[in-house]
Amino acid sequence: MRDFGMYVFKDLVLPHEESGVVRGNIEVPPTITEIVNLMADKCFVQMESDDFCDELVDVQPVPQLFASIDWVPHELLALMGLRATDQEHLVLTPGTLDHDDDIYQLSLMWVLRADPGMAFRHTHPDGPWLFHRPGDWYLFDDRLYHEVSPQQVDGRDPAWNSMYVAWCIKLGAL
């Protein structure tokens, strides 16, 4: 197979330059924001009480209350030859070291909380930091290098309890 600057995932292909890049923004409803903030704050307190020794990514089921929200951009995914599956979860983190997982694979991510200074990097350790905002959605593959890390913005350090929360839906081919 020749290298065309694309990552090939069995029957799914994601161009390198599209990994983690914001494709759109869908407003997060205020009630969801309230619930996510409570979940994130509770998660941070638990991780802090464990001295941040355990896994710094908490994966939780999508709350039942969120079921009525159809945020998935089905038409745009179809244009890329992709579809959302019924496998979904929330990812909560105060930051992670660079790693790859190979658990969820190619996924659609909707950022529900990204405190100021929380930055995401995908595909390469020297790649650019991306500063997502709540409502941003992007494609992500956990088989590739990635990390979330608090970064200075305009010379200011992020808050100690900064969190990044995203709704993750595994993707499949049409």
pLDDT computed for residue 145 by the predictor = 84
Q: What is the pLDDT of residues 11-35, one digit of tens each?
A: 455 666 677 789 999 999 999 999 9
- Residue range 72-102, pLDDT digits in tens: 999 989 988 899 999 999 999 999 888 888 8
Which residues does 82 contact at the CB level (< 8 Å), separation at least 6?
12, 106, 171, 172, 173, 174
pLDDT tens digits, 117-165: 999 988 777 888 899 999 999 998 888 888 999 998 888 888 889 999 9
Q: Give the domain extent around 58.
A: 23-152+161-173
- Rounded mean pLDDT, 44-65: 90
CATH number of the domain encompassing residue 38:
2.60.120.10
Residue 141 lies in a domain: yes
Task: Evaluate whether residue 1 is within a structural domain.
Answer: no
Task: Answer whether residue 6 is part of any domain.
Answer: no
Which residues are CB-neighbours of 7 under 8 A, at least 6 positions away? 13, 14, 15, 16, 19, 123, 141, 144
Q: Retrieve residue 14's tokens.
A: 């994601």
Task: Tell me whether residue 86 is in a domain.
Answer: yes
- More confidently predicted of 124 and 107: 107
Q: Are 110 and 132 in contact (CB under 8 A)?
A: no
pLDDT at 2 over 60: no
In a domain, 2, yes or no: no
In a domain, 16, yes or no: no
Q: What total number of domains does the chain contain?
A: 1
**Structural domain includes residue 3:** no
Kindly state whether residue 97 falls inside one of the protein's structural domains: yes
SS (H, E, C) 7-36: EEECCEEEEHHHCCCCCEECCCCHHHHHHH
Q: What angle do CA 38, 39, 41 make, to 5 degrees?
A: 65
Contact 142, 17 (CB under 8 A): no
pLDDT at residue 9 in the model: 40
Rounded CA gap, 169 and 87, in Å? 6
pLDDT value of residue 46 = 93
